[in-house]
Amino acid sequence: MFLEERDMKRRHFLLATAGVLSAAVMMQSPASAADPEYTFKLHHFLSPKSPAQTQMLEPWAEAIEKDSDGRIEIEIYPSMSLGGAPPQLFRQVADGVVDIVWTVNGYTPGLFPRSEAFELPTVFTNDIAATNLAMREMYDEYLADEYEGVHLLFNHVHAGQAIHTAKKPVHSVEDTQGMKLRVPGPTGNAVVKAMGATPVTMPVPDLPQSLATSAVDGALIPWEIIPPLKLQDVTDYQIEGPDANRFGTTVFQVSMNKDKWDSLPADIQEIFNKNSDEEWLKKVAEVWRASDDKGIQIAVDAGNEHIVLTEEQMAGFNEALTPVVNAWIEEQGDDFDAKALVDTAKKTIEKHKQ
């Protein structure tokens, strides 16, 4: 009897021990299963605290990782922490130095002439979402040829170029005469020249020092960049048109190396596509609009003057800037039908307006 009880207790102990060990294995299994099959390095030029990272790139990456059930991991490297300068980002992704980039098209002048159409004044006025959706709709027919070497995940624009000045208020084109204004790329050059000012091309991280040392008198850039660069400390005036109308915009891209994309199975590609769809483009627009609103509020709270031009004053700027569009069309020559592209861009943006 005693031996039977001892054997029974021993069996119970072994079963209980096996259960604990089994539970331990089960607890460890998810961690093993969560080890990603695909890891991507995403490189960009702004700080880790910028709205572009915290409100756009991080949520996008997290949604993709979640939908993949741990098969995908996206490591974000801000502030050019993988090396190089912002103008090198597109070449880095095209050459496979990094897997994914978020960058400004205009940092590599001449590579994206068709996409420039959406940056032009009077083409982009103030609707971020409509412009994002128009670029998506027109991509295959009009834009795809200039993205060789990469797989474009999505294009987007920001809230549009506004004028920031360090010392002088601006109410008319005449007020910009002789100024040196930082510009983001080729279309910005043309806009500033049409205003009678001198364009100075530089990556946005260089702007605060340039303003502080009077290397430039101001900049053509949206409000959202005010907080991360503390532009409220080196400017006095922020100028835009009525109803948030702006002087053109900037096109950005989030792209993956083409060979990397082609190597992925269809189900992984679909996860990226799902999280870069039209609903996402609308959300991106909301992020940039909210960031822009926050930026101008910070400047005003710091004592800067927010100048909103009258309809008549804005019409004066548009009159001066219309030749920019015409000149851009002429400059493209026979490479593609630039007038058709501009006309279609305007119509498609209008179609997508809420």
How do residues 302-345 score in pLDDT, each as one tens digit? 999 999 999 999 999 999 999 999 999 999 999 999 999 999 99
Say how far apart CA 25 and CA 41 lie, in whole Å.
Answer: 31
Cα separations in angstroms, 60 against 38, 42, 224: 16, 12, 19
In which element (H, E) is residue 154 found? strand 150-157
Say how far apart CA 152 and CA 257 lie, in whole Å.
Answer: 9
Q: Looking at residue 204, what is its pLDDT?
A: 84
Fold for domain 36-157+250-290? D-Maltodextrin-Binding Protein; domain 2 (3.40.190)
Say how far apart CA 194 and CA 119 lie, in whole Å.
Answer: 15
pLDDT band of residue 26 (cuts 50, 70, 90) is: very low
Q: Tell me the backbone φ, ψ of residue 55, rounded to 5 degrees.
A: -110, -15
User: Where do the structural domains in the chain lie, given as residue ranges?
Assistant: 36-157+250-290, 162-248+293-352
Residue whose token pair is 């569009």: 325
pLDDT band of residue 3 (cuts 50, 70, 90) is: very low
Q: Tell me the backbone φ, ψ of residue 98, rounded to 5 degrees.
A: -125, 165
- CATH class for the domain made up of 162-248+293-352: alpha beta
**pLDDT greater than 60 at residue 207:** yes
**pLDDT greater than 60 at residue 85:** yes
Q: What is the pTM of this model?
A: 0.86
Distance from the Cα of residue 86 to its chain's centroid = 13
Do residues 247 and 314 touch, judged by C-beta distance below 8 A?
no
* Bridge partners of residue 151, in order along the sequence: 256
Helix boundaries (H) for the chain = 2-34, 51, 58-67, 89-94, 128-138, 186-194, 207-212, 226-229, 258-262, 266-274, 278-301, 311-331, 338-352
Q: Looking at residues 12-37, what average pLDDT do you find?
A: 46
Residue whose token pair is 């004592």: 303
Residue 103's Cβ-count burial label (10 Å; 0-12, 13-18, 19+) is buried
**pLDDT greater than 70 at residue 192:** yes
How do residues 90-130 score in pLDDT, each as one tens digit? 999 999 999 999 999 989 989 999 999 999 999 999 999 99
Q: Looking at residue 34, what is its pLDDT?
A: 61
SS3 78: coil
203's tokens: 């990556």
36-157+250-290 and 162-248+293-352: identical CATH topology: yes
